[in-house]
């Protein structure tokens, strides 16, 4: 699969996931071990029980920050471009 085909397939999967908001969607992400340790530390400091809880919490905080009045997104996600 070429990079372009992979990108188009990823966008299709993302659009389908947005349509099915009622179900959970598995997302697989590869992270450097240092990042994983930071995620674990962040989650433990906040009383999280699992790494998944920590990742969800980080994502939620990031999304809430983006929505906050006066907040600016430093690096817009190009995946939303059509």
20 confidence band (pLDDT: 50, 70, 90): low
The whole-number pLDDT of residue 17 equals 66
Distance (Å, whole) CA 50 – CA 66: 25
Tell me what pLDDT residue 10 has: 73
Q: Give the pLDDT score at 1.
A: 63
Interatomic CA distance for residues 40 and 54, integer angstroms: 7
Angle (CA) 65 11 66, round 5°: 5
Q: At residue 43, does pLDDT exceed 80? A: yes
- pTM for the model stands at 0.56
Higher pLDDT, 78 or 14: 14
pLDDT value at position 25? 81
């Amino acid at each position: 699969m070429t990079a372009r085909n992979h990108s188009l397939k990823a966008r299709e999967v993302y659009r389908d996931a947005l349509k099915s908001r009622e179900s959970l969607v598995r997302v697989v992400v590869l992270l450097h071990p240092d990042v994983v340790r930071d995620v674990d530390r962040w989650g433990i400091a906040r009383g999280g029980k699992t790494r998944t809880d920590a990742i969800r919490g980080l994502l939620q905080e990031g999304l809430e920050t983006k929505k906050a009045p006066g907040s600016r997104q430093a690096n817009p996600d190009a995946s939303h471009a059509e």
